[in-house]
Amino acid sequence: MSDTPTADSEALPEEADELVQELERKRSLRGVAAIAVAVIGIAFSAFQLWIAARGFSSTITLPIPVVGPVTFGSFQSLQVNAIHVTFALLLAFLIFPPTKGNGFVARRLSAARERIHEHSEGAVARVTDAVAGALAWFALDDESERVTPADLLCMLFALMAGGYVVTDFKEIQRLRVFGLQAGRPIHEVFPFLSMPVEALGALGVPLDTTSYALIVGALGALLALEATRRALGFYLMMLVATFIIYARLGYLIPGGAPLIGVFATNEIQWATIIQNLWFNTENGVFGIPVSVSVQFIYIFVLFGAFLEMSGAGQWFIDLAYSLTGSRKGGPAKASILASGFMGMISGSSIANTVTTGAFTIPLMKRSGYRAEFAGAVEASASSGGQILPPVMGAAAFLIVSYTGTPYPDVVVAAAIPAIVFFFGVWVMVHLEASRTNIDSIDSEDVVDVRSHLKTGWFYLLPLGLLLYYLLVVRYTVARSAWFTIVALAALIAFTAAYNERTRLPLVGGIVALTLADLAAYVTAGVDLIALVTGASGTALSVAAAVPYLAADLGWILTAVSVVVLLLRPRGDSPLLAYDDQVEESAETVAETVGRPSLTGNRAFEYLTFVGSSMEAGARTATTVVVAVAAAGIIPGVVASTGLGPNLTSLILDISGGSLVLLLVITAIASIILGMGMPTTVTYIILVSLLGPAIQNIGGIPILAAHLFILYFGVIADITPPVAVAAYAASGIAKSDQFQTGVEAFSLSLNKAIVPFAFIFTPGILLLRGTGGPESVHTLGMADIADLGFFVPEVLVPIVGVFLGVYALGPTVIGYLYAPLSRLERAGFALSGLLLIAPGLLGVVRDTLGIAPLTFDLTFRALGLALFAALVLKNRRVRDGDGGERDATTPGAPTDA
């Protein structure tokens, strides 16, 4: 680890971990429960790695040495999705407690028990205590550290519901034609249940005539709601449940009623609803969002986990300090860079805030920033991780699916707005540092950039390789992530094995095995392992063999490195510093198996790194999978009930055909709906309800519309009163939560205006055209050479956005070269608006009858003139009438 200053006693990393556990409602498990989580998590990740490696082939084929490839069967997409969700449900019921005793129901049960004790004694009180004790034993986990019987029961039901989809797919195919009620009853599936089923039937419970498929489908949907309640909160669970109830009872709404008549629908029976919820890949729990999670989201979450466990997180934080520490207000600028780097790894606002904030917030406070401002900077910058390419958040992969846009094009389109956002926050923290005379970090506390890069330059390789696969080779998202994970695992194995004593045999072994593999391709047309096991093919030339050899390099590097680690398990790894979690896991496992000597064994530590990465990826992905599974129900209901077209018509009528008004409605809905909810959920709901209306109003690329919704979903994380990322930061900063949220929103103000800019001027997204991906393309050389298009519709808007975002800095901070009056701040706000999004004044344009491009250029020019005038005026105030700097004025913003 570097000598870069980290956290002080106010916010230790351990406290940050506890804060994450509290905010994300997770348990702290030990013993058998922790082992179960690790086993399920590693199995989950292994399954997803196999899916990514096989290119989503539905056939299960495993290569067996000597025997050759053996086919075990095949999976359909519904079965793959079911396995994916079942893994997530199992982990959710282990990681998240059913109740801690402070929920709505638990509080009222406790109050009822107290009232009974007040008015009754003896047997009644004892029975009440016995019932309360039984309920507490069954479901209460007030310390967040024990697995309850309720958890085990939910896990059993999850295995039944998911297992039925996997093992009885042929029956499901038949039931799609004849309906769920045509399926086998439960006592035919489990003959040993015949007697209790008959007994219940005699009591009026019709299990003997109810299809088992209907039962497990209903159970599965209820389990998805329960997992949503645990992982994401009661309100999201109720929102999703409301849509399910609407699907059943929406027919009761009179179609001719004013306003609400648009919500009327045809009557749908429970069997049909459950079939759509649990046995469908188009709608419901296993719908498009879960398919996106299977194909894209999980593998990128896993990539982030491997990168973080390798120690890259701390290295990037230290890199941020080494790059910015010598600048004015260095700690805050380091927070922005570190949060950007970590955002590329995690894509979670809360995790990003707490991970980097544990180090950056105390340093910002120590440098002189107010606690609220320090927390706001961290929360604001961390929320930007979800819009920062190349990884971005999970919602970015949903955009790929919903819009049909290739992921590389999404990355390119999101690049400039993301850079603009971080630039805007950078300007504001610089101006705050200038206003309050906050200087740089002491030079002795700042690590030299060159020396820091020498010790961890290899952490940059996976990100570069990912971009290469995505943008240059144009592999699919999953294949790109798979190859990058393989390369990362090989790279960490190499750095773990490398030291002064091992470098010659390590490098020599890699070169020798590479040459042997090349020789196998040249002589037999197969790789070395296949040649040894007796396979053969058509001999290749050296040039033709190189691409195959490049694909094998990851495995060669890993194999040789692991052999070196096994032969020389003791020693140092000067280039590598695993994340603390890896070291803690290695110690725990060594103690558990009774082999404390394994601690310090480099081969064992590398194995722990791989296992910890796979487990951490599964833990992180669990919340995402539960979120997309639950949220997928909403578009399913919208589609199956016919609500979508009616709702689109209603929204268009309310907006009066005004794009500006429709965008404002969408922005407000995104912020309100997104408060306390994951961005992925907000995105899915709003795309289902508002997306068609934005697209139908015309004239904008579909990708721009979806990025607009994504941006405002991200803003919700730092918008009071439920600013989850800001509250996480305030917990570390020991600041007022609401005020931290207000300041975080202010620092992110450009994130609320820039989306309007790229809606009106898609050139900011480097896009040309309108509509879907078939009529919109990313700018190429021909578009750049078309100066009549490129200059007014791309170059000028991009420059305008950067200048406008800069103008928002003085607006929020109230300082540029000298303090600003309220009128001057209002002037900067107006200039920023005109420079960023003059299209917001479309009413003025239409009233004057000015052509859109002419109006855009004219009002950007007016904004530039106003901005320049205000800057010059403020600079004269700083310099004084005689041109000399006023000694009473705080330091001017320099060295930004």
Task: Give 131-182 pLDDT, tens digit per residue.
Answer: 888 888 888 877 778 888 999 999 999 999 999 888 888 888 888 888 888 8
- 775-789 pLDDT, tens digit per residue, is 888 888 998 999 988
DSSP 777: E
Distance between CA 283 and CA 290 in Å, rounded?
10
Please tell me which residue, 124 or 866, carries the higher pLDDT value. Answer: 866
Residue 657 CB coordination number (10 Å): 10
Round to whole Å and give the CA distance between 708 and 754: 9
Residue type, 609: F
Look at 69-73, 138-142, 634-638 and tell me which has the smallest mean pLDDT: 69-73
Q: Say which range, 55-59, 437-441, 685-689, has the weakest mean pLDDT.
A: 55-59
Region 536-541: mean pLDDT is 82
Q: How confident is the model at residue 694 (pLDDT cuts 50, 70, 90)?
A: confident
- The token duo for 761 is 């001027």
Q: What pLDDT is attached to residue 86?
A: 95
Six-digit token pair at 297?
Answer: 């989201």
Q: Residue 888's pLDDT is what?
A: 42
Lowest-confidence segment of 42-51, 74-83, 508-517, 640-649 by average pLDDT: 640-649
Q: How confident is the model at residue 267 (pLDDT cuts 50, 70, 90)?
A: confident
Amino acid (one-letter) located at 278? W
Q: pLDDT grade, residue 287 (50/70/90)? A: confident
Give the CA distances from residue 57 to residues 60, 69, 170, 582, in Å, rounded to whole numbers and listed in that order: 8, 14, 19, 33
Summarize pLDDT for 188-229 with one digit per residue, the tens: 888 888 888 788 877 877 887 888 889 999 999 999 999 999
Residue type, 751: K
345 neighbors 313 (Cβ within 8 angstroms): yes
* Residue predicted with more confidence, 788 or 342: 788
Model's pTM, two decimal places?
0.85
Within 10 Å of residue 281's Cβ, how many Cβ atoms? 18
* Mean pLDDT, residues 655-660: 77
Three-state DSSP string of 382-398: HHHHHHCCCCCCHHHHH
- The predicted model gives 532-539 an average pLDDT of 80
| pLDDT tens figures, 734-767 | 888 888 888 888 888 888 889 999 888 899 999 9
Long-range contact set of residues 454-462: C-beta below 8 Å, sequence gap at least 24: 455/2, 455/574, 455/575, 456/311, 456/312, 456/315, 456/319, 456/575, 458/491, 458/495, 458/575, 459/307, 459/310, 459/311, 459/312, 459/315, 459/316, 461/487, 461/491, 462/303, 462/307, 462/487, 462/488, 462/491
Report pLDDT for 618. 93
Q: Of the segments 484-493, 648-657, 848-857, which one has the largest average pLDDT value?
A: 484-493
Answer yes or no: is pLDDT of 24 > 90.
Answer: no
Mean pLDDT computed over 869-880: 89
Between 841 and 893, whose confidence is greater? Answer: 841
pLDDT of residue 10: 42
Q: Cis omega before residue 678 (within 30°)?
A: no
Q: What is the mean pLDDT of the chain?
A: 82
Residue ranges in 325-370 assigned as alpha helix (H) = 330-345, 349-367
% the chain with pLDDT above 70 = 91
The average pLDDT across 543-562 equals 87
Asked whether residue 566 carries a pLDDT value surpassing 80, the answer given is: yes
At residue 881, the pLDDT reads: 54
CA dist 178 → 75, 208, 670, 750, 830 (Å): 23, 19, 40, 54, 63
Provide the 8-state DSSP code for 597.
G
pLDDT at position 532 over 90: no
Residue that is written with structure tokens 């299990």 in the block: 207
A 10 A CB-CB count for 624 gives: 24
Band (pLDDT 50/70/90 cuts) for residue 71 is low
pLDDT for position 227: 93
- Which H/E stretch holds residue 839? none
**Distance of alpha carbon 262 from alpha carbon 259, whole angstroms:** 6
Query: How much is the average pLDDT of 864-868?
Result: 95
Note whether 25 and 230 are within 8 A (CB).
Answer: yes
DSSP-based three-state secondary structure for 838: helix
Q: Are strands 68-74 and 767-768 parallel, antiparallel or unpaired?
A: unpaired
Decide: helix, strand or coil at residue 778: strand
Q: How confident is the model at residue 219, as a pLDDT?
A: 93
Give Cβ neighbours of residue 853 (< 8 Å, ≥ 6 apart).
792, 793
pLDDT tens readout for residues 354-403? 777 877 888 888 888 888 888 888 888 888 877 888 777 777 788 888 88
Q: Stretch 115-142: mean pLDDT, rounded?
A: 79
Confidence of residue 344 (pLDDT cuts 50, 70, 90): low
3-state helix, strand, coil in the chain (%, to 5): 75, 5, 25
Those residues whose C-beta lies under 8 Å from the C-beta of residue 208, and which sit 6 or more positions away, are 185, 187, 197, 198, 200, 201
pLDDT over 50 (residue 884): no
Question: Nearest Cα to 343, choosing from 775, 717, 8?
Answer: 717
Cross-strand pairs, 778: 767
HSE-CB for 622 with a 13 A CA cutoff = 31
The yes-or-no verdict on residue 892 having pLDDT over 80 is: no
Place of tokens 């003025």: 844
Contact at 8 Å (CB) between 709 and 399? no
* Range with the poorest average pLDDT among 25-29, 333-337, 606-610: 25-29
Is residue 9 pLDDT above 80, yes or no? no
- Give the pair of three-digit tokens for residue 637: 């209901």
Exposure string over 168-199, b if 16+ CB within 10 A, otherwise e: bbebbeebeeebbeebebbbebeeeeeeebee
Answer yes or no: is pLDDT of 768 > 80: yes
Over the Cα atoms of the chain, what is R_g?
Answer: 29
Lowest mean pLDDT among 366-370, 618-622, 645-649: 645-649
